Amino acid sequence: MRLLVAGGTGFIGAPLCRRLAQQGYRLFVYTRSPGDYRDEPGIEYLPLRPDTWTHTLAGIGGVINLAGEPIAASRWSAAQKQLIRTSRVEMTRHLVEAMAEMPEPPPVLVNASAVGYYGARGDEELTEADAPGRGFLAETCQAWEAEARRAEALGVRVVRLRIGLVLGADGGALAKMVPPFRAYVGGPLGSGRQWVSWVHRDDVIGLVEWALTHPELAGAVNATAPQPVRMAAFCRELGRTLRRPSWAPAPAPVLRLLLGEMADLLVTGQRVVPQAALQAGYPFRFPSLAEALSECLP
């Protein structure tokens, strides 16, 4: 099968593409700088030019859209917030518009979203059936998903992956959380009572694969592990894995002073469970935090 991937060179996209290529898929990956990448077996890198997308999509068996400015790349200025939103919403819009121009659109679109969709909800347990929240991230995710859902009118099966805090060995959240712990100054962020809906990167990749190959799966899918934990528990387990204490909390006012509005990512959180994935029979490789951290930080 031939697949098109937008956002295929990032923390999730790069290992996903390698995994799919190893399984025999032929991948066409859109990136801003295709010359920065050597073609790997089964992977071809293409320039990010919407005017060429309709041609590239011909004969494609599925589209995976992970594109977007990293949420935690820098402090949330007005310009950065606009970039975070438009890089997601407009990319998705261009992809769906290209599909609309085709006599036979691809049968499936797996489109990234985030658990930020639910907003700050305290201890409320959240499934895919729950309503969206309020705030910048929630409203961005709603607009992002709305663009993806436009493909449903074309007969495309759309899977919207609401991705949690992704854990991996070579980047993501752990790359920023581990150094203070190694320096013996690690600890919970904010009150420590907020929920962390985490997921191992291998399970995000696994859920993308599952979405491609299981036509009964459609709509919103929470890409989170079955066992969310509170921030204090997350940091205790991280400290245990690293053989370091978890004793130096970073108070919410300090985080907001340093990070601005982006601190809300760290001090609010959501208690999200992957009901749709579990009902579909997806077998989580890393259902517990201890297993996930041990794999990421051997």
Cα 250 from chain centroid? 25
Residue 71's SS3 state is coil
pLDDT value at 258 more than 70: no
Cα 12 from chain centroid? 7
pLDDT value at 153 more than 80: yes
Domain residue extents for the chain? 2-166+200-224+271-285
State both tokens at 132: 């969206």
pTM listed for this prediction: 0.95
According to DSSP, the β-strands at 219-223 and 195-196 are: unpaired
Instruction: Indicate the burial class of 56 (C-beta count within 10 angstroms; 0-12, 13-18, 19 or more).
Output: middle
Q: What is the pLDDT of residues 49-66, one digit of tens each?
A: 877 778 888 899 999 999
Tally of residues, the chain: 298
CATH number of 2-166+200-224+271-285: 3.40.50.720
Cα 195 from chain centroid? 17
Q: If you search the block for the tokens 């991280």, which residue do you land on?
A: 238
pLDDT value at 259 more than 80: no
Helices (H), ranges, 150-184: 172-182
Helices (H), ranges, 152-246: 172-182, 201-213, 231-242
